[in-house]
């Protein structure tokens, strides 16, 4: 089994399910007392969020690249960045190490295409929904991407940082998300991407009339598959 290096703490609320889901996948495949071989580098999200908020993506990239180098030096054979938004600096991380980064957008897009969908709604932070790094990578896989309107994007962004990253799961926020997803479906979305690793704690299949693609679960399963693959 190959060793995974997890860059977590972004927020730690969504790092916990990564650890659990990867280990569950390994146990399901191998049985018995098997568990994943992994190394976790957990950052202080306070520092990272400040860089994001001030649009200092070079600083954020440098911080995460340092974590990646530490994981490689510790023996990791591939990297898993346990967040959606910070894949904006994936190129900086990849340039800092010689081991592969298992990209969350590619893993998600491959699953969507395999399921037969071509038009998807995207939920996430304002950075994920508004900046091109996410939608353009999805479009490379032949997908058309729809995002909520400006007011709904602002609402989602505030909810993620002020509630979900603090472990707060509020019913009225779930209802807001349900309404946003209904609107995306009305505009043609055949499926919806939960493009924030914290969103799956709040929203599930029962909250939408279309298929939801949980990036956290997809990414974690992809990482487990990579760990078990033959060299």
Q: How far apart are CA 112 and CA 210, in angstroms?
A: 12
**Which of the residues are catalytic?**
83, 196
Long-range contacts formed by 169-175: CB under 8 A, 24+ apart: 169/201, 169/202, 173/202, 174/202, 174/203, 174/207
Phi/psi for 193 (5° steps) reads: -95, 125
What angle in degrees, to the nearest 10, is found between the helix axes of 12-30 and 215-228? 40
Contact 76, 39 (CB under 8 A): yes
Q: Kindly list the distances between the CA atom of residue 228 and the CA atoms of 28, 30, 37, 108, 215, in Å, as whole numbers in the listed order.
A: 12, 9, 10, 19, 20
CB under 8 Å to 34, separation ≥6 — which residues? 26, 27
Q: How far apart are CA 177 and CA 183, in angstroms?
A: 10
């Amino acid at each position: 089994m190959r060793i995974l290096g997890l860059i977590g703490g972004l927020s730690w609320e969504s790092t916990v399910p990564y650890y659990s889901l990867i280990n569950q996948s390994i146990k399901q495949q191998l049985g018995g007392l098997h568990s994943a071989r992994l190394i976790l580098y957990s950052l202080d999200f306070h520092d990272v969020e400040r860089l994001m908020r001030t649009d200092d993506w070079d600083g954020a990239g440098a911080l995460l690249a340092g974590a990646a180098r530490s994981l490689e030096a510790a023996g990791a054979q591939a990297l898993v960045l346990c967040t959606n938004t910070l894949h904006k600096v994936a190129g900086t991380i990849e340039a800092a190490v010689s081991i592969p980064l298992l990209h969350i957008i590619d893993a998600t897009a491959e699953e969507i295409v395999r399921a037969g969908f071509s038009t998807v709604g995207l939920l996430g932070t304002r950075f994920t929904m508004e900046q091109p790094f996410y939608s353009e990578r999805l479009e490379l896989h032949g997908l058309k991407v729809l995002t909520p309107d400006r007011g709904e994007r602002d609402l989602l962004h505030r909810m993620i940082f002020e509630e979900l990253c603090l472990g707060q799961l509020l019913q009225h926020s779930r209802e807001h998300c349900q309404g946003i997803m209904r609107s995306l479906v009305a505009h043609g979305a055949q499926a919806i991407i939960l493009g924030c690793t914290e969103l799956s704690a709040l929203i599930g299949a029962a909250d939408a009339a279309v298929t939801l693609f949980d990036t956290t679960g997809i990414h974690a399963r992809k990482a487990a598959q990579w760990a078990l693959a033959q060299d």
